[in-house]
Structure 1
Amino acid sequence: MNEIMATGLGLLGGLALFLYGMNLMSGSLQEVAGERMRAILAAITRNPVVGVLAGALATAALQSSSATTVMVIGFVSAGLMRLPQAIPIIMGANIGTTITAQIIAFKLSDYVLAFVFAGFILMTLAKGERAKLGGRAVFGFGLLFLGIDTMGAAMKPLAANPVFTDLIAQVASVPVLGVVVGTAMTLIVQSSSATIAVLQNFAAQAGPDGVSSVIGLEGAIPILLGDNLGTTVTALLAAVGQSRDAKRVALSHCVFNLSGCLLFVGLVGPFASFVAMIPPVGPEVEVIARQIANAHTCFNVAMTLIWLPMVSVMVRIVMAALPDEPRRPRRGRVAGPRWEAPAPGAPAA
């Protein structure tokens, strides 16, 4: 089989396994814990810090920032939550979604099929509904990592292809181009977790020298920023047809990630140096998957710390971008000539 076709099929097949496993795991967790997370979010106080923690907790438990964002948009649309309460939860969801990249950075290749087998047995033989859902979640978790291994195996020949490595070098040297690539990838796949997993796997491939990463941390960070920017489309789509405030929640998600992208794209070098100092330390190809996960977490935590004291500013920005619709005057009935009774003794008309 043609090498290019084999690589393409390996990438697409691995991506399909990853997305299916991710959706299966996330869907099962939502069925088990969704109502509880929904109750927690609905009971949020006006304390922004509590909102951030709740958003991070819900997303980490459900393994889907999109699920948390859609929940919040629904609450705001129904009038159960106000815009200043919703924005910190969205910030927390951005932090919670980084847990997926941290999990992926663990090398679980030797245990992948054990997870698949255990999940299959549990969801097949278990009698209780919650146990079956737990089995589905474990089965999806195994498929997720099986997809990652498949993509990694498909990408190995690319790391030795001089044409491809030259192309990657051009992307790595132009941060804005990396942001565009990351955004486009997430728009196509509609999952930032999937595109970050692809990035982690690709970065873990050794370049021509056999020691350094084929793309390096400085080349990976702009693509990571683009992945974060592309994921805001899900919230924007979820807000279509919702109330004005619900659209503002989705827009605040976009403003949060866009502002972070604009800030960090000019600080790629210093940011990469900072992330490289965070353990673990070792050969680049051995630790870069964890470094990308750490960069993802640091980015979202830093942007939350920047924006959290300025929630009111964020509210004013989205209110200015989506102002209230002007009220239309009510159309009354046109009054006709008023009939008056004739005076006593006057002739009838």
Structure 2
Amino acid sequence: MMSASAVFVHLIGGVALLIWAVRMVRTGVVRAFGSSLRSVLASATRNRVTAVLAGAGVTVLMQSATATAMLLTSFSRRGLVPLAMALAVVLGADVGSAVAAQLLSLNVSHLWPVFVAAGVVTFLVSDADRPQCIGRALIGLGLLTLSLQHLRSTVVPLAESETFGLVLAALAGEPILAAILAAGITWAAHSSLAVVLVIATLALTGAVTPTLAIAAVLGANVGAAAAPLSANWGAAAETKRVPFGNLIMRGAVAAVLIPFAGSLAELAASFGLDGARLTVDAHLAFNIMVALIFVPLIGPVSRLLERIVPATPQPADPARPRYLASVPADVSSEALAAAHREALALGDRVEAMLIKSMEALESGDPKLIRELRLADDAVDAVNEAIKLHLVRMSRKGMSEEDSRRFMEILSFTTNLEHIGDVIDKQLLEMAEKKGRAHLAFSSEGLADLKAFHARVASNFSTALNVFATGDPDLARRLFAEKTAIRDLERHFAERHYARLRAGVTLSMETTSIHMDVLRDLKRIHGHFVVVAQPILEACGELSDTRLRSGDPAGPGRPASYRRTEADGAQPA
């Protein structure tokens, strides 16, 4: 006979194992089939019925209505799924979670060694990402059934405890308090499935009365709806609408039913339902009821949500990322897509800085220089946010393709930060120096700098398009510009030396600034032209030393290049 403290420790351990097992199943399924599941959800939102069925099916696989709600929150925030259809999917997800509880309530705990063994073998026999994720899900399923077996053996002595019996008896007489307690526990665990299975296990021994079981199940459903809302509490209004709508719908029905938990228990008893079967059946019946009531009312509910949760325009903060919020951490493709969009937006900011830098060099305007320095601070902040986002995402495990994209995004944003630093620390310093000394470029010198700057800026725009599309033709064109920029820098430098030999006073006064601007613009070009390298390497057109001859680089483009460590890819 175990002591009360030992029983309590075993109970906590069993519940913790159950919660962790549910998470393993969810993350394994999401990583193995995340893109397919998201495609199913997105394509099934043409009408309410398919939306409900898709939500139910996806949730049965993921074992988590909360995870489905988080995916739908992301879709709805970006306008990919109408709010009404997102709510329909969430209602289906709630039903799917209840169906999963029905399946897991069956006495299949003796199969846990089979699930674990199959999962370990699947994980170990292949180095590919998907088989390993499937193995993870199977191991999670085995641990889930093992945890249920452990809980059933633990609650037997617990049910015999006089103190525990008094506590449960008191809660049975206070269904509202019991529902609130169950809601809080479910919110903390982020899994109604785990809490409902624990309640069912306790009900199996008779420790939980039918009235208490029904009240706790209703509270668990409310707590499960509150979890995604609290996770997105500080996000934009559009992000909060789907979980808030789910909470309103589930909470409204639960609020009506909780005071009648005793009467519902008597009604269930008349049908011969009690114990664990009553718990999981009440869970399923509640979610089916919510779906039947609110699927026809999805339109009015979505309009109500848009009214009570209005999209309040926020002043744009240049140092705040636009696309990284509310991305499901377990879906690497979703997280990478958000980082890719953020990197493109960062590129637009740096491009604007580059374009304005020529005006700052020409005018020496202190106000414009301060504006560009603030822009560089914002670029640094967003770049840091992208890096942290990518690091957090990488901890979840990535496929080979996702790892390649991860490195491309990280390299691109790092080079963008370097470009911003060159503009801030070099070009703007020279603009200030020129302004303090009241210097001016000669008309010919200024024209040369503007022409070189325009060529670099044009190629920067091409680099952003290369990063956005991965187009090999654009990559070849950008890569070939290395030769043109090198030759153009030499040409303009020679023209400047000719003016010095001719004794042009303005050129003599600004010679160091002029040459430094040419050098730094070439440095900037070297930082962004490397975006073409991984694309050409993937096409098999770029070797370690040379671009293979005979490539369709187009007329007038060089066919071979040499690679240097200092400057990325340099034309031969």
TM-score interval, normalised by the smaller of the two chains: 0.7 to 0.9
Contact 2:28 2:136 in 1 (8 A): yes
Q: How has the CA–CA distance of structure 1 residues 274 and 308 changed in structure 2, closer, same or farther, with 3 Å as cutoff? A: farther
Instruction: Give, as a single letter, the amino acid of the residue that structure 2 aligns with 1:251.
Output: F
How many angstroms does 1:133 deviate by? 2.4
- What percentage of aligned pairs have identical amino acids? 29
Equivalent residue, structure 2, for 1:265: 258
How many angstroms does 1:326 deviate by? 7.2
Query: Structure 1 regions of 5+ residues with no counterpart?
Result: 206-212, 329-349
Is 1:143 aligned to 2:143, yes or no?
A: yes
Equivalent residue, structure 1, for 2:44: 44
Once the two structures are superposed, the pairs formed by residues 189-228 of structure 1 within 5 Å of their partners are: 189-205=189-205, 213-228=206-221
Measured in 1, the distance between the counterparts of 2:279 and 2:117 equals: 30
Measured in 1, the distance between the counterparts of 2:210 and 2:126 equals: 44
Measured in 1, the distance between the counterparts of 2:268 and 2:52 equals: 23
Which of 190-199 and 128-137 deviates more? 128-137
Once the two structures are superposed, the pairs formed by residues 100-119 of structure 1 within 5 Å of their partners are: 100-119=100-119
Instruction: Give, as a single letter, the amino acid of the residue that structure 2 aligns with 1:141.
Output: L
Equivalent residue, structure 2, for 1:60: 60
Equivalent residue, structure 2, for 1:72: 72
Q: Spell out, residue by residue over 1:73-128, the C-alpha distance to the aligned partner (whole angstroms, 9 max, x if none).
A: 11111111221221111111111111231122111232222322232223223455
Is 1:315 aligned to 2:315, yes or no?
A: no
Secondary structure of the corresponding residue to residue 79 of structure 2:
coil
Measured in 2, the distance between the counterparts of 1:36 and 1:234 equals: 25
Measured in 2, the distance between the counterparts of 1:142 and 1:219 equals: 29
Equivalent residue, structure 2, for 1:296: 283
Q: Spell out, residue by residue over 1:280-330, the C-alpha distance to the aligned partner (whole angstroms, 9 max, x if none).
A: x58x5xxx22221111111000111111111123123323322343799xx
Secondary structure of the corresponding residue to residue 96 of structure 1:
helix
Secondary structure of the corresponding residue to residue 80 of structure 1:
coil
> How well do the aligned residues superpose, as a CA RMSD in angstroms?
2.3
Equivalent residue, structure 2, for 1:16: 16
Measured in 2, the distance between the counterparts of 1:99 and 1:274 equals: 22
Secondary structure of the corresponding residue to residue 259 of structure 2:
coil
Contact 2:63 2:193 in 1 (8 A): no
Instruction: Give, as a single letter, the amino acid of the residue that structure 2 aligns with 1:137.
Output: A
Measured in 1, the distance between the counterparts of 2:307 and 2:151 equals: 44
How many angstroms does 1:227 deviate by? 0.6
How many angstroms does 1:277 deviate by? 6.0
Measured in 2, the distance between the counterparts of 1:298 and 1:92 equals: 13
Equivalent residue, structure 1, for 2:178: 178
How many angstroms does 1:270 deviate by? 4.2
Measured in 2, the distance between the counterparts of 1:202 and 1:327 equals: 49
Measured in 2, the distance between the counterparts of 1:2 and 1:158 equals: 9
Higher relative contact order (CA 8 A, sep 6+): 1
Measured in 2, the distance between the counterparts of 1:249 and 1:172 equals: 33
Secondary structure of the corresponding residue to residue 23 of structure 2:
helix
Secondary structure of the corresponding residue to residue 289 of structure 1:
helix
Equivalent residue, structure 1, for 2:293: 306
Contact 1:77 1:242 in 2 (8 A): no
Equivalent residue, structure 1, for 2:131: 131
* Residue among 221, 234, 239 paired with 2:227: 234
Q: How has the CA–CA distance of structure 1 residues 13 and 240 changed in structure 2, closer, same or farther, with 3 Å as cutoff? A: same
Contact 1:33 1:61 in 2 (8 A): no
Measured in 2, the distance between the counterparts of 1:265 and 1:311 equals: 24
Measured in 2, the distance between the counterparts of 1:66 and 1:325 equals: 26
Secondary structure of the corresponding residue to residue 295 of structure 2:
helix
Q: How has the CA–CA distance of structure 1 residues 137 and 161 changed in structure 2, closer, same or farther, with 3 Å as cutoff? A: same
Measured in 2, the distance between the counterparts of 1:46 and 1:242 equals: 27
Which of 48-57 and 313-322 deviates more? 313-322
Measured in 2, the distance between the counterparts of 1:139 and 1:326 equals: 46
Equivalent residue, structure 1, for 2:247: 254
Is 1:30 aligned to 2:23, yes or no?
A: no
How many angstroms does 1:273 deviate by? 4.3
How many angstroms does 1:275 deviate by? 4.2
How many angstroms does 1:276 deviate by? 4.5
* Residue among 319, 322, 325 paired with 2:312: 325
Q: How has the CA–CA distance of structure 1 residues 160 and 290 changed in structure 2, closer, same or farther, with 3 Å as cutoff? A: same
Equivalent residue, structure 1, for 2:88: 88
Which of 171-180 and 188-197 deviates more? 188-197
Which of 101-110 and 313-322 deviates more? 313-322
Measured in 2, the distance between the counterparts of 1:126 and 1:326 equals: 49
Measured in 2, the distance between the counterparts of 1:177 and 1:170 equals: 10
Query: Structure 2 regions of 5+ residues with no counterpart?
Result: 316-572
Which of 224-233 and 315-324 deviates more? 315-324
Measured in 2, the distance between the counterparts of 1:266 and 1:237 equals: 26
How many angstroms does 1:188 deviate by? 2.8
How many angstroms does 1:24 deviate by? 1.2
Equivalent residue, structure 2, for 1:345: none
